[in-house]
Amino acid sequence: MNSAPLANFAHRHAAHCESGSVANLLTHYGCPLSEPMAFGLAGGLSFAYLNFIRIQEMPLIAYRVPPRGIVKGVGKALGIPFHVERFRSPLAGTARLDALLDQGQVVGLQTSVFWLPYFPEDMRFHFNAHNLVVYGREGDEYLISDPVFEHPVRCPRADLERARFAKGMLAPKGLLYYPQAPAQGAPVMQNGGGATPQNITRSIRRVARNMLAPVPVVGTSGMRWLARRIARLDPKAAASSRLIGHIVRMQEEIGTGGGGFRFLYAAFLQEAAESCDSPQLAEFSARLLDIGDEWRAFALAAARMVKGRDAFDPSAIAGLLSAQADREAIFFRDLRSALA
């Protein structure tokens, strides 16, 4: 049986799975939102180096907030809470998804990447916090808008169930979500979607505060800590090159829009400048774009060493990274005082 009314879903290609899914879902439900705006409103930008959390032998390094942070953050900023469900049994999870689709609902899901057959082989790792949108079903195939793909894709029922109920770290437990109708008189309804200058500046202030937090593992101090760790690496050990490669992967490979989300956040600042009518924010957007270029240069230098084109030089890599920490510290300090 096909799901009754085949929802007309506008798929948009996005840099990042979670901000893309949320932006596309909210747009579908009548609150037009771009990916950068979703990412920025949720205060998605960050940096974290958590050496004590190991994922497949590598420390956790993130250029953004933890998974689910964007869904929650956007919901909070716009006053549109997301309805969230988790399931104990795959059977119940699939039945509920089918029921929602039959009602014509479009639903966001958290899944593993490894079990999705439409992903290229070399990208299928056991990462459990991927996000996608299901907008219909035809027989035993789901119609999926996976934001990191250019076009909608299809996925057989058994595979999607497997991906939704993958176990291990960040296990999705069948998690599905869709926006609830906003409260009457909420600002979203008044201006037909989008964000108010107040909640835009509030989210920017939060990011600036987190990036400058006096905690060693996050923000610019996290970068400096990681730089010190890199400086101590043994240039001859295979594990050293692996760590450097891992950092670049987290920055560039896993759907960040380039430069570890810095370009995406610069796009948000540009949109925010228009919403808030603030030429100052537009200047910050241009500055962050330059900082993103420096991140690309860092990635290039690191990859050349991984590949053996340049001699492996941990102190050079560490130097580039701490220079980035300095640039971002100045940037976010200026940004914070501009909004004070």
Partner 1 sequence: MDISEVPQEGNATLAGLRKAVYARNAENRIVSVASAGWEVEEIVTQQAADIFSAYTTAAHARVLKGESSPLEYWMYARRMDLATFAQSSGIWRWRIRRHFQPALFARLSPEMLDRYADALGISRQTLCQLP
Q: What CA–CA distance (Å, rounded) separates 129 from 67?
A: 6
- Please tell me whether residue 266 binds partner 1 under the rule CB under 8 A: yes
Which listed residue (89, 125, 197, 215) binds partner 1 by CB under 8 A?
Answer: 125
Going by C-alpha positions, the residue among 225, 226, 14 that lies closest to residue 132 is 14
Could you say whether residue 148 binds partner 1 (CB under 8 A)?
Answer: yes
**Integer Cα distance of 261 and 154 in angstroms:** 28
Distance CA 302, CA 244 (A): 6
Binding mask 26-55 for partner 1 (x = CB under 8 A): ---------xx-----------------x-
284 binds partner 1 (CB under 8 A): no
Interaction of residue 292 with partner 1, rule CB under 8 A: yes
Cβ proximity to partner 1, 105 vs 110, nearer residue: 110
- Residue 107, number of CB atoms within 10 A of its CB: 19
Give the DSSP letter of residue 66.
P
| Residue in the structure block whose two tokens are 């109708």 | 181
Residues 167-186 close enough to bind partner 1 by CB under 8 A: 167-169, 171
Q: Which stretch binds partner 1 (CB under 8 A): 25-33, 70-78, 96-104, 248-256?
A: 248-256
How is residue 182 annotated by DSSP? P
Give the three-class secondary structure for 25.
Answer: helix
Contact status: 122 vs partner 1 (CB under 8 A): yes
Please report whether residue 263 would count as binding partner 1 according to CB under 8 A: yes
Does 257 sit near partner 1 (CB under 8 A)?
Answer: yes
Residues 6+ positions from 250 with CB-CB distance below 8 Å: 61, 62, 63, 260
Single-letter code of the amino acid located at 237: A
Residues in contact with partner 1 by CB under 8 A are 13-15, 35-36, 54, 56-57, 114-115, 120-126, 148-150, 162, 166-169, 171, 241-242, 245-246, 248-249, 252-253, 255, 257-259, 263-264, 266-267, 270, 285, 289, 292-293, 296, 299-300, 303, 306-307
